[in-house]
């Protein structure tokens, strides 16, 4: 049994993206090396929805929902059936397996909401959960909050090679020794690594063999760069008995201000997720659900253009970091970079605060993604192109100033 | 340790308001007594935001928030400071004690979200929680989900007398014997009972004496009928160390489609609630938070008018039910009625399904508010006046048909 104090120590959000404004920067002037570095402030902790605005028409669709009144305000806890019907068709097509709109899909308050419900429906005291490191910071916190035990699975992300990805032998030993759930993101947050088709098939087969529940976070699976291949776990021929796929329009589509996500898969788990939703927040905001009508129905060329623009930013930031010898894997998808820093004369949290205070650049410390990433930072490069490049150059200068 | 199956059995939402559409009505024709009763369908499971529309201008304020872009989309997890600043002043004034906007207030996804976070910050395995019966259905579910134990405190609501309200001796014995938290709503959901000033002072004093955390749900505290007096626990001179007050604009103000609520009180608990919010759904939808700018700033006369209109519906429904000898307490506030039915020839769940199938009236079974209320139904009478009265008359006819 875990005490409330321990439970909440595991949840500390002091270094979580978006919370930087709550940090005390007061003492930094005394340890600052050199002057401030001027430039447009860039908050790499999340994407900039002003640089990449929400899907065209999403506000008008919201207004139509509002005008619909009570029917749109009070939906089933799992979301409006009319909207689920459309989503099930489009998401089924995208992920390579049909979805029953009535029993296999739930609309959630953001992808975060979907993860919370999926893990809440799966994890209780002492449930062993395989968690990839590095991976989205909330995965570990959620497992701990529900009383589960983390079985870490390292991700080899730094270079493309035979060992690129997770160690499947290690995953199998975890499954063999009592792990009953596996949660991971592909494209990986924070590295942008896309799990290969053969790895995805192997995961599906192992999970089926050992009857492990799989929760796969595919939040960034629409933003795949040129030459990359994406594999949906749902489309594998062998399927685990319990599989939940999670997606949402908060990133590529910039609809984060609407707090919308979806989870789809095994109907028993979806039922549980809805029961939990009923006591967590009842439903995703009714009027906002209407914005999902624009999803996977954007104007022709809109998505392709968004990908090209992000690829250009990615490539330029990679050159900036690599020219300064910061080891940085090439993201195959999504908008995250996870550069590794050299040894510094201050600890990571202090450096991150200095970046914000001295160089107008907000980044997320690597430790949010796994305890051992004390030498990495994460950047969401869905930003104004020129401002992002200038901020990356400031980060490089800061690294030089604070290197040992 | 509670298993996942047990945990989710406690959460079953089959009879929860709003979920009726998922029920199977197929077998009812065989047991129906008499013909169908025609009439405009009325869904008493929640208020009708078409009959009582959202606060004027709430959609325009939403649009202003949307146009603000990233700043409004990505707020702190506890909500936009600018909005909290305004709310803290207005809510502090309303509840009789100042609120620090930075440390003592969190914006949540609905009042449900606030309850979830408050109980999640307070209850863990074997925490004893005093829960009033009848009271809002989620309170009991939340305590069970977090592993706590319910200590029931009966509410005497049927008639005004010395015993009207809860038994304070019983509450004190609960506090004496290891109960560390107390959650209740005033005005009470489902009965509309308002806790008297002396009871509220006594609760504050007892909680202070035994160091019990109090979570008070004041969702309906703006809709107080003529001649009634409302007491805010926050305004008592003796204060418990840990007090959280919960409110929201979903009911009186009909902003339920925005999913907005607030919790305010002890800063350590608010911090925990924010840490939990970070893994539950990050934040209340950013653009929606803007709608809180209309709250407690409605046009002059708007609230008074809304109260008068509800009082008129209340009085007419009370006459209809009392003329048929259905024992129904007079709600002092809010828009719930909790009539008691005579012995019927079918069980409560069947009768509720028959009401929906045969009489176009959706109500919530009393058992959602406490296990012993197998002879009561709850109605939210925030409905079109004429349609509500006609539906109440159909309910009376149905009771006559199915009486033993």
Percent of chain A with pLDDT over 70: 99
Q: Inspect the interface and report whether the beta carbons of B281 and A112 lie closer than 8 Å.
A: yes
Average pLDDT over residues A148-175: 90
> Which pLDDT band, with edges at 50, 70 and 90, does B107 fall under?
very high
One DSSP character per residue, B367-400 reads GGG-TT-TTBEEEE--S-HHHHHHHHHHHHHHHH
Chain A residues whose CB is inside 8 A of the B280 CB are 112-113, 116, 280-281
Chain A contact for B125 (CB, 8 A cutoff)? yes
pLDDT above 90 (res A164): no
Residue A3 has pLDDT above 90, yes or no: no
- What pLDDT was estimated at residue A158? 87
Give pLDDT, residue A1: 62
Give the residue-averaged pLDDT of A222-246: 98
CB contact under 8 A, B259 and A281: yes
Q: How far is B142 from chain A (nearest CA, A)?
A: 7
Other beta carbons within 10 angstroms of residue A205's beta carbon come to 16
Return the pLDDT at B162.
65
Across B20-45, average pLDDT: 88
How many whole angstroms separate alpha carbon B87 and alpha carbon B101? 8
Whether the pLDDT of residue A29 is over 90: the answer is no
Q: What is the reported pLDDT for A162?
A: 65
Q: Is the ipTM of this complex over 0.90?
A: yes
- From chain A, the residues in CB contact with B272 under 8 A are 4, 8, 11
Rounded average pLDDT over A6-33? 82
What is d(CA B142, CA A308) in angstroms, rounded to the nearest whole number? Answer: 46
Provide φ and ψ at B151, rounded to 5°. -110, 105
pLDDT of residue B45: 96
- Residue carrying structure tokens 């009789």: B96
In 3-state terms chain B splits into helix, strand, coil percentages (rounded to 5) of 40, 15, 45
Closest CA to A261 of B65, B282, B326, B152: B282
| CB B184 within 8 Å of CB B217 | yes
Would the pLDDT of B366 be above 90?
A: yes
Distance of alpha carbon B81 from alpha carbon B389, whole angstroms: 44
How large is the average pLDDT for residues B55-60? 97
Strand partners, A107: A262
Q: Do A13 and B274 touch (CB under 8 A)?
A: yes
- Phi and psi for A133 in degrees, rounded to 5? -130, 120
B11 touches chain A (CB under 8 A): yes
Q: Give residue-wise pLDDT tens across range A41-76.
A: 999 999 999 999 999 999 999 999 999 999 999 999
Interface of B with A in 67-96 (CB under 8 A): 69-70, 72-74, 76-77, 81
| Substitution target from B12, B123, B260, B281 for chain A, most A beta carbons within 10 A | B281
Query: Which DSSP string do the residues of B355-373 spell out, in sequence order?
Result: HHHHHSEE-EEGGGG-TT-
Mutate to test the interface with A, among B1, B280, B291 (most CBs of A within 10 A): B280
Pick from B22, B82, B287 the residue to mutate for testing the A interface (most A CBs within 10 Å).
B287
The pLDDT of A322-350, averaged and rounded, is: 97
Q: Across the interface, do A46 and B18 touch by the CB < 8 Å criterion?
A: no
Residue A213 bridge partners (DSSP) = A181
The pTM of this model reads: 0.97
pLDDT > 70: what percent of chain B?
A: 99
pLDDT in tens, B296-321: 999 999 999 999 999 999 999 999 99
Cβ contact, residue pair A77, B18, below 8 Å: yes
Phi, psi of B364 (to 5 degrees): -110, 130
Give the chain B residue nearest A256 (alpha carbons). Answer: B73
- Selecting from A3, A59, A278 the residue whose C-beta is nearest the C-beta of B11 gives A278
C-alpha count within 13 angstroms, C-beta hemisphere, residue B298: 18
Question: Is residue B147 within 8 Å of residue A2, measured between CB atoms?
Answer: no
Q: What tens digit of pLDDT does each residue of B137-168 get?
A: 999 999 999 999 999 999 999 876 667 899 99
Chain-chain contact of B275 with A13 (C-beta, under 8 angstroms): yes
The mean pLDDT of chain B is: 95
Q: What is the pLDDT of residue B22?
A: 78
Lowest mean pLDDT among A19-23, A232-236, B218-222, B270-274: A19-23
Q: How many residues does chain B have?
A: 404
């Amino acid at each position: 049994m875990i005490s409330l104090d321990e439970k909440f120590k595991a949840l500390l959000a002091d270094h979580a993206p978006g919370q930087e404004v709550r940090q005390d920067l007061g003492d930094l002037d005394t340890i600052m090396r050199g002057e401030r570095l001027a430039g447009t402030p860039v908050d790499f902790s999340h994407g900039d929805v002003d640089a990449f605005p929400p899907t065209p028409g999403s506000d008008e669709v919201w207004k139509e929902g509002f005008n619909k009144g009570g029917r749109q305000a009070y939906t089933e806890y799992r979301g409006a059936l009319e909207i689920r019907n459309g989503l099930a068709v489009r998401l089924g097509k995208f992920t390579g397996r049909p979805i029953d709109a009535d029993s296999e899909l739930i609309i959630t308050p953001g992808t975060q909401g979907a993860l919370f419900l999926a893990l809440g429906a799966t994890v209780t005291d002492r449930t062993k959960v395989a968690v990839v490191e590095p991976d989205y910071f909330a995965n570990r916190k959620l497992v701990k909050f529900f009383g589960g035990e983390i079985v870490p699975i390292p991700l080899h992300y730094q270079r493309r090679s035979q060992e690129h990805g997770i160690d499947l032998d290690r995953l199998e030993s975890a499954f063999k020794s009592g792990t009953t759930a596996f949660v991971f993101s592909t494209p990986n947050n924070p590295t942008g690594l896309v799990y290969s088709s053969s790895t995805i098939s192997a995961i599906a087969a192992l999970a089926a063999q050992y009857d492990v529940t799989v929760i796969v976070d595919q939040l960034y699976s629409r933003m795949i760069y040129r030459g990359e291949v994406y594999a949906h776990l749902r489309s594998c021929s062998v399927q685990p008995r319990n599989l939940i796929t999670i997606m949402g329009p908060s990133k590529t589509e910039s609809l984060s201000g609407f707090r919308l996500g979806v989870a789809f898969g095994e109907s028993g788990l979806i039922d549980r997720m809805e029961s939990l939703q009923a006591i967590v927040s009842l439903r995703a905001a009714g009027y906002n659900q209407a914005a999902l009508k624009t999803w996977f129905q954007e104007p022709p060329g809109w998505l392709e253009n968004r990908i090209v623009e992000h690829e250009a930013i990615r490539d330029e930031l990679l050159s900036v970091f690599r020219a300064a010898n910061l080891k940085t894997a090439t993201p195959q998808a999504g908008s995250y970079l996870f550069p590794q820093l050299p040894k510094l004369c201050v600890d990571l949290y202090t450096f991150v605060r200095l970046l914000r205070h001295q160089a107008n650049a907000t980044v997320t410390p690597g430790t949010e993604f796994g305890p051992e990433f004390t030498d990495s930072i994460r950047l969401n490069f869905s930003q104004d192109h020129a401002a992002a490049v200038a901020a990356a150059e400031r980060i490089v200068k800061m690294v030089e100033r604070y290197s040992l």
